[in-house]
Chains A and B, each alone.
Chain A
Amino acid sequence: MYIVSINSCRELRKNYDAHLTKFISCCSLPFARPGAARSTTHDEEALTMDSLAGAAGWALAAAAVPGVVGFGLSRGAGFGARAARMAAAWSAAAAWLLALGAAGAYLTDGTTTGTLVRVELPGSLRVDLGARVDGLSVIMLFTVTLIGAVVARYSMRYLDGDPRQARFCQWLSYTLSAVLILLVSSNLVLLFLGWIGTSHGLHRLLTHFRERPAALIAARKKFLISRLGDGMLATAFVLIARQFGSLEFSEILPRAAGVPEAELLPIGLLLVLGAMTKSAQFPFHTWLPDSMETPTPVSALMHAGVINGGGFLLIRMSPLLAAAPAALAPLALGGAFTALLGSVAMLVQTDVKRKYAYSTVAQMGFMMLQCGLGAFAAATLHMVGHAFYKAHAFLSAGTAVDRAAPAPGPRSAPRPAGGLALALAIAGGFALVSLVALATGVDPQAKPGWSVLGCVLALAAAQILLTAPSGEGPRLRALGAAAGIAGGIAAVYFVGVAAVARLLGDAVPSVPAVTSSGLALVLIGLFVVAVGVQHRLAAGSASRFARAAYVHLSNGFYLGAIQNRWVEALWPLSERDRTHTRGARA
């Protein structure tokens, strides 16, 4: 059995205090201890406590501080609202600084693994509870700690006066720590604990307003879907452990390329499915648009931090997935379908938060598509960009009533683009993107998944060109400006992907997975159709099909409603759930 035995658990607990003391002193001491032993993926003997002094120490400390201070200390000492929110905000800020430290150490030292505690398992397995610091974890650590710090700070004033603010801040810290542990973990066990902890903490945050039945139903839906994902992930990890005889990334990932694809395929598929539950992919996306029954900062953390768990898992396991390309094809298709569903459903949403939720579904779908195409660097870039954008979007959702913006009137109604204009714009988009590729010296053919991603970029450029005539001023100038924006975006994109690929280094497979041209064509077709559909439908088509599509889309094709009924049947609201009242208002 590859489960932590009771004995080792006891041992772990016995050693816990000693380790914790050591660990905390580790956090507070200057980190870059000169001459400290550095462990590498190939140097197992060096996996000692000392190795924590390097980047791994920074990373583990970053992951632990919010949990230890913002949750553990705050809860243990029974902090009131003021103390608890200070603890959450400062520990998250400290995590961000520590993440910067980890990034600095990574830039000088390269990929490192450090172990906090080694747990021997029966069957010659061992778990090195520790951190793996490579390009991927550094990028994600930086992103999530920054967002976590901003969200925790935001919650200080935003929940001021809420009778449950202390509890809120504690679970916010807990959730943040869980995400960070997931990101920095050096092995499957710690990653799995982070994975479960994330969803556990999130469940507490989603039920902040426990007197709201809708909040309970949404949280329970999320809970059930998460358990489904846990099951898939656990199975995958058991299979991995059986296959590789190890739980350590440092031992599994380099050896993945040598394993026959048939052996890896079930693992790959399970990982893909597990990731799809976490990152809100069809048909598991339904919990996300229903998750607004909780204070806005939770949405920000969820859409910017937690939701990336699935994508991170796939990129972390990318060497393994690259060796099982057959598992990637369904991922690409599923991601593309989710992306299109989300982006079209987004168009009909009338409230800002639900619109953002479908936008996240779509963006995560696109990120999954990139993973499916083997474009892991692009997927990482996407995850980070989306996290920042969406965190900011949620935290500033109150500006949706923008009174400084021009008052809407009949003139601002969208005007449909004609077929010719659409065709011209698409042609222009392709030309523009090719031009920029030439100018930046990018060799598109060498980039994984380029055929599909390049087309999407060109289609986006086409859509930007189409917005040109709606502005004030001379047409040609507007067109020039639009072309400038589109070209600039393409350039930044190329440079960004190249930079991230460099930063990721050996975290992602160097040999890209090959996408079959048939699949690529299908995917490109999907996007072209989506653009066409969007232009025809959103322009107010009066066809019966368009009208029916509008109604069904605004209901998210009823998937959420159907699943709500299942949830209510499986886990009905009790009388107690219905009669919760808020302390302050009772």
Chain B
Amino acid sequence: MSLSIESPLPQPPFEEASTDAGHVVPMRPGSAPQEPPALDEAIAGACERIPPLWTLRNFVAVNPFMGFRGLAFADAMEAAERLFHGRTWMPSGFYRAQLERGRIEPADLDQAIDEALAADPGAGIARAGAEPLRTALLADGPGASPAPGRVETVADALDRLRGSDWARFVTHEVSKWCAGRFDAGQAAWPQPWAELPLFEAWRAAARIDRNPEIRGLRGFRAYVASLPATPRDAIAAVLAQLAAPAAQHAELLTRELASIAGWAGHVQARVREAAFAGERDEALVHLLAVRLAFDGALHRAFLEPGSSASEPNPGERTSATEPAAGPSEPERQRLWQRAYELGYRRTLLSRLVGHRPAAHAPPARPRLQAVFCIDVRSEVLRRHLEAQSDEVQTLGFAGFFGFPIEYQRVGDEQGTARCPALLAPPYRLRERAPDGSPAEARVRRARSRHARFTGLRKLGVGTYPLVETVGHFFGLRLLTDALGWTRPHDGGALFRSRDEDALGPDATRRGGSGFGLDLSEQVHLAEGALRNMGLTRSFGDVVLLCGHGSLSTNNPYASSLDCGACGGHRGDVNARVAAAVLGSPAVRNELAKRGIEIPAETVFVAGLHDTTRDTVTLLDADTLPPALRRPVEGWLAAACRGARQERAAALGEQAGADLARQLQRRATDWSEIRPEWGLAGNAAFVAAPRARTRGLDLAGRVFLHDYDPASDPDGDVLELILTAPLIVASWINLQYYASTTDNDVFGSGDKTLHNVVGRHGVVLGNRSDLQVGLPWQSVHDGTDYRHEPMRLTAIVEAPRERIESILGAHPDLRETLEHGWVHLLAWEPDADRFHRFLGLDRGWEIVPNSGDSQ
């Protein structure tokens, strides 16, 4: 498999010279010898701190602290607080309430303290000793000091000193301009200067825009005109003007980008995409120059000699308060957070250890083998499906089933990636109708009519008579949408061709179209998929490849509920492709030569798990003999019913016979603000044979990846699991973490204020930075948090030496684990023992009580 990757974030090669001088301003380090190369490092460092932000068309989770991954977790959080001005822990009052509720037990707190003391005996807090520390934690703390050592832009500093509102204004101005620059079809009149590089284009607009001056930023246009034309020179000029010491450049520049983190993230995602395509995109540096120019103008207008104000020193940290006696608030939060995580681990491990799967002898040949995505939502359905019959087996694997494809629908001008964001899809597939069918042409025409109809809204003058005529039909539409008879975006229902269902992904390579997979590619992908999901023998009668997707209405964040492993899309396309390839006799022939014998009777079939309604739809199921189909559908229906009942309480719905209808309502109601809970609550990752957890209620909080240590002596499969699915799970986990600890900064705020910008993102209210992370309603139910912000606990059943050798080969992964971004435990089921990974040098530590609790 080609899925193993070295770095979670391949950066474009900065040291290579740009070859396209016409469109890319040469930014080559060394091209300006009068500047110290330190500036280039500072710029590159600032850019690296910004996590990419995918559009809402294909929103995939990203670790919001990705830029700090070289640091120990607590240090990264400290840095993120200083630079992004967001809270990265819960307030200590939150944790104390958890202690009162019993969610944290006193033993957890003791253990957290012991761990901290053992990890760093020389630390300040360690001097007092464990018992006083414990007393201090339970008492009221010093409270969160709002800005310990924050790095500030000029705008931040001015606001702090004078009570002005410049920081917000500057963010809004940059956001306003970026929204035009990166508009994907909202404005009928596109922003001019699209042909110019970003900084140049902004300069041209800023020299016309009078808004800053009206707001009181004197001389803004003249200042912009006076800036050097290339972004790097402009950055150097502004830094010189601010007289910021060189040592602070990196942090100041990071803060500049962090103050427009949303759009910077959008640009970062574009930079990454370009890097995947082998191109170099310097747009983020350009954006940095734009943001810095505002600070330069503020400095010129308010702080230069002649102005009487006391001079704040931009880039300098605000003075940290004198350390009080006892642990500081961040230290307290760190310890409490660890105790909070240990509390969950305690219950999880005791359940794993105490669980003795029913001693049923698994049938040599199960009737149904269902492969689900590792997504935590699958756990519930898998459990209920297995409960239906001993003849049902389920497996967990990344929901793209090992088929990293780009998929282009009929009528689309470009395809979309249907694979984890870590990968650039190497294969292109397209939607097609069966040969000779006129369906494709009809669908194409219908979609084109739809596009033209929506285009009518852009008419300008033409809209007046339109409103007076077509407008009235919306009266009826209001009523039917409100009553749930129609869904608003079905505007296309009129234009939906009946032939849509005849279309599907076409896996076969035809002629020189460049679409599809040839036989060797099919065999390669099929083999990789089967080996990595551990399905190389004892095939069942039916192998169901079940992707997942979520139906919600009027929800800009719909794609955040879809399958992240399919690039923020529904998983049906990948499942259909995988099932088609694995069903092909030619592929099976080749697989047999490579030692994977799939019985001729085994049928591969695709399915889609709708996570809002908990239904499973079989796709392309006409290959399934009725005698097999009936029991399979019966089990699935019963499992879905069970899963729905289990989820009802969390959604505030009444469990009962009517539940399916209520969930249908949630999925299709245009006013529903919480269609489902997505991956809220995710807390752990388990890579082990399903037999270890079968029958165990893990409450939909665990990513379950099948892994059989016995059949992977070389560790190839484990290497893949640790470098790809585990990292993706950790990204999801940390996105939920940060959206919970500070939804205003790391999340996307209140959904009722969401205002879709550029058809691909969201701003809040009138104007704001592009929003990152998850909405408030995705982590909070109005009364309490639905997500418990914890780092992922990864439990892997594998020999420790095997894990160590993989970590040795992957320094990034090793760093992630050693720095405590994910808690890795190696599981020895036979000894009922867990070993906590401390570091390649520090080794492992037996998890206390785990071995002797039973």
How many residues on B have C-beta within 8 angstroms of the other chain's C-beta atoms? 105
CA distance A410 to B429 in the complex (A): 20
Among A44-52, A263-271, A489-497, the stretch in contact with B: A489-497
Q: How far is A492 from B184 in the complex, measured between Cα atoms in Å?
A: 33
Write out the residue numbers on chain B whose beta carbons fall within 8 Å of the beta carbon of A385: 467-472
Flag if A472 contacts B448 (CB, 8 Å).
Answer: yes
Q: Which of B168, B449, B461, B553 has the largest count of A CB atoms less than 10 A from its CB?
A: B461
Given contacts A161-B782, A389-B470, A409-B412, contact A350 B180 (CB under 8 A): yes
Surface stretch bound by A, among B359-367, B631-639, B756-764, B790-798: B756-764
The minimal Cβ–Cβ distance linking A371 to chain B, given in whole angstroms, is 14
Q: A85: shortest Cβ distance to chain B, in Å? A: 11
**Cβ of B188 under 8 Å from chain A:** yes
Inter-chain contact B445/A350, CB cutoff 8 Å: no
Interface segment out of the listed A11-19, A115-123, A311-319, A394-402: A394-402
Is B469 within 8 A of A492, CB to CB?
yes
Residue from A214, A388, A389, A398 within 8 A of B554 (CB atoms): A398
Residues A10-51 near B (CB distance < 8 A): none
| A409 contacts B757, C-beta separation under 8 Å | no
Q: Is B461's CB under 8 angstroms from A542's CB?
A: no
**B588 to chain A: which residues have CB within 8 Å?**
none
Q: B646 to nearest A CB, angstroms?
A: 21
Contact with A along B408-430 (1 / 0, CB 8 A): 01011110100000000000000
Closest Cβ–Cβ distance, residue A478 to chain B (whole Å): 8
- Judged by a CB distance under 8 angstroms, whether A440 is at the interface is no
Q: Could you show 15 A-B contacts with beta carbons less than 8 Å apart? A: A218-B766, A292-B755, A293-B766, A352-B755, A386-B471, A398-B554, A402-B759, A406-B450, A408-B184, A408-B413, A408-B759, A456-B461, A540-B189, A548-B208, A550-B189
Are A530 and B752 in contact, CB atoms less than 8 angstroms apart? Answer: no
Query: How many Å lie between the Cα of A471 and that of B447 in the bound state?
Result: 10
Q: CB-CB contacts of B655-678 with A at 8 A, as 1s and 0s?
A: 000000000000001111110000
Shortest Cβ gap from B483 to chain A (Å): 9
Determine the chain B residues whose CB is within 8 A of the CB of A531 once the complex forms: 460-461
The answer to whether B461 and A530 touch across the interface, beta carbons within 8 angstroms, is yes
Are B176 and A554 interface neighbours, CB within 8 A? yes
- Residue of A147, A157, A389, A473 near B671 (CB, 8 A) is A157
- A565 & B478 in contact (Cβ 8 Å cutoff): no
Contact B475 A146 (CB under 8 A): yes
Distance (Å) between the CB of B429 and the closest chain A CB? 15
Residues of A close to B106: CB separation below 8 A: none
A101 to B777: give the CA distance in the assembly, Å: 40
Interface presence of A162 (CB below 8 A): yes
Q: When chains A and B are docked, how far (Å) is the Cα of A349 from the Cα of B176?
A: 10
Complex Cα distance, B765 from A143, in Å, reads: 27
Residues of chain A within 8 A of B586, CB atoms compared: none
Chain A residues near B445: list those with CB within 8 A: 472-473
A470 to B846, CA, bound (A): 68
**B residues whose Cβ falls under 8 Å from a Cβ of A:** 55-57, 165, 168, 176, 179-180, 183-193, 204-205, 208-211, 214-216, 409, 411-414, 416, 444-445, 447-452, 454-456, 458-475, 477-479, 481-482, 488-489, 491-492, 553-556, 558-559, 669-674, 743, 750, 752-760, 763, 765-767, 776-777, 780-783
Residue in B190, B468, B492 with the greatest tally of chain A CB atoms within 10 Å: B468
A100 within 8 A of B: no
Confirm or deny: A414 has a beta carbon within 8 angstroms of a beta carbon on chain B: yes
Q: Pick the contact of A562 from B214, B466, B468, B757 — CB < 8 Å?
A: B214
Given A153-B482, A351-B179, A352-B755, do A537 and B462 touch, yes or no (CB 8 Å)? Answer: no
Looking at the complex, which of A187-195, A223-231, A323-331, A376-384 is the stretch in contact with chain B?
A376-384
Residues of A within 8 A of B450 (CB): 405-406
Report whether B210 and A558 are in contact in the complex, using a CB–CB cutoff of 8 Å. Answer: yes
Question: Chain A residues with Cβ under 8 A from B456's Cβ?
Answer: 464, 467
* Bound form: Cα–Cα A472–B479 in Å: 33
Residues in A504-562 with C-beta less than 8 Å from chain B:
527, 530-531, 534, 537-538, 540, 542, 546-548, 550-552, 554-555, 558, 561-562
Q: Does A108 contact B (CB under 8 A)?
A: no
Which of B447, B489, B556, B674 interacts with A160 by CB under 8 Å?
A: B674
The yes or no answer to A79 lying at the interface (CB within 8 A) is no
Known: A385-B471, A399-B488, A459-B462. A547 touches B204 (CB 8 A): yes
Contacts A147-B478, A398-B556 given; indicate if A412 touches B185 (C-beta within 8 A).
Answer: yes
Asked whether, in the complex, the Cβ of A550 is within 8 Å of the Cβ of B460, the reply is no
* Closest chain A CB from B713 CB (angstroms): 44
Taking the nearest CB of chain B, how far is it from the CB of A564, in angstroms? 8
Pair B673/A157 contact, Cβ less than 8 Å = yes
- Mark contacts of A405-442 with chain B using CB atoms, 8 A cut-off: 1 yes-contact digit, 0 otherwise: 11111111110000000000000000000000000000
Nearest Cβ on chain B to A194's Cβ, whole angstroms: 23
Is residue A460 within 8 Å, beta carbon to beta carbon, of the partner chain? yes
Contact between A381 and B461, CB atoms less than 8 A apart: no
Q: How far is the CB of B50 from chain A (nearest CB, A)?
A: 22
Q: Are A346 and B455 in contact (CB under 8 A)?
A: no
**B215 cross-chain contacts in A, Cβ below 8 A:** 561, 565
**A366 interface residue per 8 A CB criterion:** yes
Contact of B754 among A363, A382, A398 (CB under 8 A): A398
Closest-by-CB residue of B relative to A586 is B91
A154 in contact (CB, < 8 A) = yes
Bound Cα distance A401, B460 (Å):
21
Chain B residues whose CB sits within 8 angstroms of the CB of A296 once the complex forms: 752, 754
* A388 engages B180 (CB within 8 Å): no
Contacts of B756 in A (CB 8 A): 351-353, 397-398, 400-401
Give how many A residues have a beta carbon under 8 Å from the other chain's beta carbons. 117
Q: Which residues of chain A come closer than 8 Å to B553, judged between CB atoms?
A: 399
CB contact under 8 A between A388 and B471, given known A154-B482, A467-B456, A531-B460: yes
The minimal Cβ–Cβ distance linking B96 to chain A, given in whole angstroms, is 16
Which 7 pairs from chain A and chain B are nearest by CB?
A: A161-B782, A409-B413, A385-B471, A396-B488, A389-B471, A400-B756, A295-B752
A253–B784 CA distance with the chains assembled, in angstroms: 58
A471, B449: Cβ atoms closer than 8 Å:
yes
- Determine whether A94 belongs to the interface, using a CB cutoff of 8 Å to chain B: no
* A397→B753 CA distance, assembly (Å): 11
* B783:A363 contact, CB within 8 angstroms: no
Q: In whole angstroms, what is the CA distance A354 to B215 when docked?
A: 20
Are B186 and A349 in contact (CB-based, < 8 A)?
A: yes
Best-surrounded residue of B208, B777, B780 (most CB of chain A within 10 A)? B208
Best-buried of B190, B205, B215, B783 by chain A (most CB within 10 Å): B190
B205:A551 contact, CB within 8 angstroms: yes
Contact A388 B482 (CB under 8 A): no
Chain B residues lying within 8 Å of A294, measured Cβ to Cβ, are 753, 765
A397→B409 CA distance, assembly (Å) = 25
Partner of B468, one of A209, A471, A493, A550: A493
Task: Give the distance to chain A from B162, nearest Cβ to Cβ, in Å.
Answer: 13
Q: How far is the CA of A497 from the CA of B547 in the complex (A)?
A: 53
Q: Is A150 an interface residue (CB 8 A)?
A: yes
Which of B190, B216, B479, B781 makes the CB contact (< 8 A) with A161?
B781
Indicate if the CB atoms of A351 and B466 lie closer than 8 Å.
no
Q: Check A155–B671 contact: CB distance below 8 A.
A: yes
Whether A156 and B671, one on each chain, are in contact in the complex, defined by CB atoms closer than 8 angstroms, is yes
Q: Which of B214, B444, B669 is within 8 Å of A472, CB to CB?
A: B444
Tell whether, in the assembled complex, residue A384 and residue B479 are in contact, meaning their CB atoms are under 8 Å apart: no
Q: What CA separation (Å) do A214 and B171 show in the bound complex? A: 13
Q: What's the least CB distance linking A93 to chain B, in Å?
A: 10
Alpha-carbon separation in the docked complex, A69 to B555 (Å): 31
The answer on a CB contact under 8 Å between B755 and A351 is yes
Which of chain B's residues have a CB closer than 8 A to the CB of A213? 165, 168
- Asked if A471 and B489 sit within 8 Å, CB to CB, the answer is no
Most buried by A among B180, B465, B556: B465
Shortest beta-carbon distance from B638 to chain A in Å: 29
Does B464 lie within 8 Å of A354, measured CB to CB? no
Q: Cβ of A471 and Cβ of B452 under 8 Å apart? A: yes
Report A-chain residues with C-beta under 8 Å of the C-beta of B755: 292, 351-354, 397
- B192 pairs with A547, CB closer than 8 A: yes
B210 contact from A555, A565, A584, Cβ within 8 A: A555
